[in-house]
């Protein structure tokens, strides 16, 4: 049995984030570590680990608040330090013992608040 056969059979394909500041939000996503697939004035596509794509959709008005998704990174403290160095002002890292994670948040240019979690991957192929 190959390593591929041991991977979960499904994954998240797409998540959507609305923005009224397409260029700034797209730049932000590249800065935090996403790979640009397509940049457009109405729709942009960014790739994340595991092949999940973030679809940025331009809207005339965006209500600021929590994004409909969160992100997970292998080294939360290094990510926090890098984003701080870049002037992106992440919140302080907080422990969440009830779910065995540490977290911080960061606001992207349109006001969507994205939560970053410490990794909890099983250690098996993903």
Range of the domain at 93: 11-118
Q: What is the pLDDT of residue 5?
A: 62
In this structure, how many other beta carbons lie within 10 angstroms of the beta carbon of residue 11? Answer: 10
- Whose CA is closest to 55, among 74, 76, 65, 69? 69
Examine residue 126 and state whether it is found in any structural domain, yes or no: no
In this structure, how many other beta carbons lie within 10 angstroms of the beta carbon of residue 22? Answer: 20
Q: What is the mean pLDDT of the chain?
A: 91
- CATH number, residue 25: 3.10.180.10
Total tally of structural domains belonging to the chain? 1
* pTM to 2 decimal places: 0.88
Residues 22, 14, 126: CA angle, nearest 5 degrees: 130
List the beta bridge partners of residue 18: 57
pLDDT digits (tens, 9 = 90+) for 63-99: 999 999 999 998 999 999 999 999 999 999 999 888 8
Pairing of strands 71-73, 43-47: unpaired
Q: Per-residue pLDDT averaged across 96-112, rounded?
A: 93
């Amino acid at each position: 049995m190959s390593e591929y056969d041991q991977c979960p059979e499904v994954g998240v394909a797409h998540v959507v984030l609305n923005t009224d500041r397409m260029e700034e939000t797209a730049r932000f996503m590249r800065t935090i570590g996403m790979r640009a697939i397509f940049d457009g004035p109405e729709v942009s596509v960014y790739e994340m680990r595991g092949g999940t794509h973030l679809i940025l959709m331009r809207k005339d008005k965006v209500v600021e608040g929590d994004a409909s998704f969160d992100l997970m990174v292998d080294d939360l403290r290094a990510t926090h330090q890098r984003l701080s160095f870049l002037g992106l002002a992440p919140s302080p890292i907080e422990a969440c013992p009830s779910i065995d994670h540490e977290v911080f948040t960061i606001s992207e240019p349109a006001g969507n608040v994205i939560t970053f979690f410490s990794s909890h991957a099983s250690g098996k192929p993903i």
